[in-house]
Structure 1
Amino acid sequence: MNIIKKLFGTISNDEHNSSENPHETQEVISLDEKFTFNFKKNGGKFIYCENLNELRDQFENILEENDWFENEVLCHDEKLFTLLEENKLEYKDVKKPNFFLTNCEDLIADDGSILFSSKQFKQFKANELPANIVVFATTSQIIENKSEGLMNIRKRYNKQYPSNITTIKFFEKTNEENFLNYGSSHKNLYLLLLENI
């Protein structure tokens, strides 16, 4: 006899029928929950923002936490320059940036990684960027997998495809060398995710 039956008595027909098919009883996880879980599991720092004012406040908290005020920042996105100017951060002709501020192509839910291209990285490879990265993204950028991300890039850039398409997945240094992580550089990464759906 089943231990559950012993403890809780007999199971009704409805409960019994649903337990025969485990796929029917599995909880459906939304894309944003899946991404958040996998991103945090990879060591990323996730900050959800409901509006632009909250995003500005959270960015200032990151600066304060890391003592990055009045430092050099690598940033290629003109839309983010105002955020840097408001906080007296130098982003022109920088020699030793403390962190990289950028947007991204997409957020990949199935492995918690972030998809970038030359639109964000320019000519740099991931290992040539600062170890600290602050990424600005929106909830509408969360997608299921990398294949969907590549399709989005094709649609988004209409035959003028960017190069240097890559994902960053490891956000903390691993204690042991893992051959699966070979060739990838870890980054101390903050994600400021703005609600836009």
Structure 2
Amino acid sequence: MQENISSKELMLKKIRKALLEKRDHPHPNLEETPLYKKEEELLEIQFAEQLSAVSGNFIFCESGMDFIENMLELADRFKWRKIYCWEPELQGLLEQYEFPFYKTDKDFEMAEAGITLCEALIARNGSVMVSNETGAGRRLSIYPHHHIVIAKTGQLVSDLKDAFALIKNKYGSQLPSMITTITGPSRTADIEKTLVLGAHGPKELFVFLVDDFS
């Protein structure tokens, strides 16, 4: 019995000694510790590569006119007739160039394409960050077969931490109740382990990075 007590006291003595020792960094500052090595590629290239790797489509546009020209090409290729846009900023751009679209949810069950803004583009994994605070809400990003995302160059960031910094700077303490990321078209492999795109959401994702909205 005495031996057990001595062993216990010895162990406690070692613990007390260890706690009293001075340590330079007992609690490392993980916030300032980089999780990934610094990338040498431009963010635009990195995002395009990562988005393509998850079956997404990246299109860089120098201006609003360039965006409209690309949209006309896509609409012709996929024979879109039901294109929906509920973002006031994007509606103004589309109307400026007389691009046809639906402002309301009329015949929404027949929607073929939805055009939305986003909160950020995350270059490291090719993801699009969205929230329920945008004019499109949630429906336009999940219901139509084709989801078109429009982002400005200032919304392109390196990783998730930078994307949340944009959100915090934009909304302050009033954060959106829903913040999520979209990484390529929806997918599932639940049926016989076969990968299927668009099983529970858009079959195609197009991300436009527009340098100048004017």
The one-letter code sitting in structure 2 at the alignment partner of 1:122 is G
Change (3 A) 1:91 1:144: same
The superposition leaves residues 20-74 of structure 1 with CA deviations (integer Å, 9 ceiling, x where unpaired) of: xxxxxx9822222111110111111111111121111111111111111xx3333
- TM-score, normalised to structure 2, is 0.67
Give 5+ residue unaligned stretches, structure 2: 1-37
The superposition leaves residues 113-163 of structure 1 with CA deviations (integer Å, 9 ceiling, x where unpaired) of: 100000235254954x22310111122211111122112111101222112
The one-letter code sitting in structure 2 at the alignment partner of 1:35 is F
The superposition leaves residues 153-190 of structure 1 with CA deviations (integer Å, 9 ceiling, x where unpaired) of: 11101222112211110327567457xx9x98564111
Show the counterpart of 2:15.
none
Q: C-alpha distance in 1, partners of 2:87/2:45?
A: 28
SS at match of 2:115: strand
Q: C-alpha distance in 2, partners of 1:191/1:123?
A: 17
Change (3 A) 1:184 1:30: farther
- TM-score, normalised to structure 1, is 0.72
SS at match of 1:119: coil
Q: C-alpha distance in 2, partners of 1:91/1:147?
A: 34
Show the counterpart of 1:135.
149
Q: C-alpha distance in 1, partners of 2:69/2:183?
A: 26
Change (3 A) 1:91 1:45: same
Show the counterpart of 1:92.
104
RMSD of aligned residue pairs (Cα, Å): 2.8
The one-letter code sitting in structure 2 at the alignment partner of 1:79 is E
Change (3 A) 1:60 1:77: same
Kindly tell me the number of residue pairs found equivalent between the two proteins. Answer: 165
8 A contact 2:84–2:101 mirrored in 1: no
In the alignment, does 2:84 pair up with 1:74? yes
Change (3 A) 1:112 1:130: same
SS at match of 1:130: coil
In the alignment, does 2:210 pair up with 1:194? yes
The superposition leaves residues 71-98 of structure 1 with CA deviations (integer Å, 9 ceiling, x where unpaired) of: 3333221111245542222231322211
Q: C-alpha distance in 2, partners of 1:145/1:81?
A: 29
The one-letter code sitting in structure 1 at the alignment partner of 2:83 is V
1:122 to 124, 137, 147: 137
Alignment of 1:18-97 (within 5 A): 28-68=40-80, 71-85=81-95, 86-94=98-106, 95-96=108-109, 97=111
Q: C-alpha distance in 1, partners of 2:78/2:93?
A: 17
Change (3 A) 1:126 1:103: closer
SS at match of 2:133: helix
Greater Rg by CA = 2
4+ long deviations beyond 6 Å: none
8 A contact 1:106–1:114 mirrored in 2: yes
Q: C-alpha distance in 2, partners of 1:150/1:177?
A: 34
Show the counterpart of 2:31.
none
